[in-house]
Amino acid sequence: MNCPSCASGRQAEFGAEMNIHFRGLQSLDKPGLLVFPKLLVCLDCGFARFPVAETALALLVNETATRESSIQNGTRAPSRPVGQDCA
């Protein structure tokens, strides 16, 4: 399979350890989700991708649904988009 970013065929697989954090100030008290995926990295442009295990994906889906429900009900403020300054 070629790289979806640059179409290179030079890719390598690496083991990884990642801690996925939930965005926003309201999520500061939530622990991150530790996952150990296999990364597929393009050796030409650096584009990387990885699968998320079903159990970790279920936790991400559940937290996202809970967060969206809280925002729609007005109990939490939505997080700011990435890249906005604090002004």
* 44-87: pLDDT as tens digits: 999 999 999 999 999 999 888 776 666 566 555 555 444 444 44
What does the pLDDT look like over 10-31, one tens digit per residue? 999 999 999 998 887 877 888 8
Domain membership flag for residue 49: yes
Domain membership flag for residue 5: no
The number of domains in the chain is 1
User: Measured in Å, how far apart are the chain's first and last C-alpha atoms?
Assistant: 44
Q: What is the pLDDT of residue 15?
A: 97
For residue 86, what are the contacts with CB-CB under 8 A and spacing of at least 6? none
What kind and span of H or E run contains 12?
Answer: strand 11-15
Distinct helix (H) and strand (E) counts, the chain: 1, 5
Residue 24: domain span: 11-72
0.75 exceeded by pTM = no
Domain membership flag for residue 30: yes
Domain membership flag for residue 62: yes
Q: What is the pLDDT of residue 84?
A: 44
